[in-house]
Amino acid sequence: MSREAYQVPSMGAQNAFGTDAGFGGAMAVDNPSVVYLCGECSARVPLKRGDQIRCKDCGHRVLYKERTKRMVQFEAR
């Protein structure tokens, strides 16, 4: 199978909205932290579900996702 094929996100995957009630109990089993980048100081900010969206270094409230880990193919033309 090609590396680019779509993968269905597993239940344990992070949800963009921290206050998603109802699934809380099931999610608590594995609660991985996702790394974001601070929009102000470019620091790496690991966030867990329910964490406040805030940079730990500078307190900035805008965070960005990291670039996808997926490989992208281009023609050199």
Q: Is 2 in the site for other proteins (CB under 8 A)?
A: no
Given CA atoms 4, 62, 21, 29 in this order, what sign does their dihedral have?
positive
Q: Which range of residues in 8-16, 46-54, 55-63, 69-77 is near other proteins by CB under 8 A?
A: 69-77
The site string for other proteins over 10-49 (x = CB under 8 A, - otherwise) reads --------------------------------x-------
Q: Is 5 in the site for other proteins (CB under 8 A)?
A: no
Q: Where do contacts with other proteins occur on this chain (CB under 8 A)?
A: 42, 67, 69, 71-77
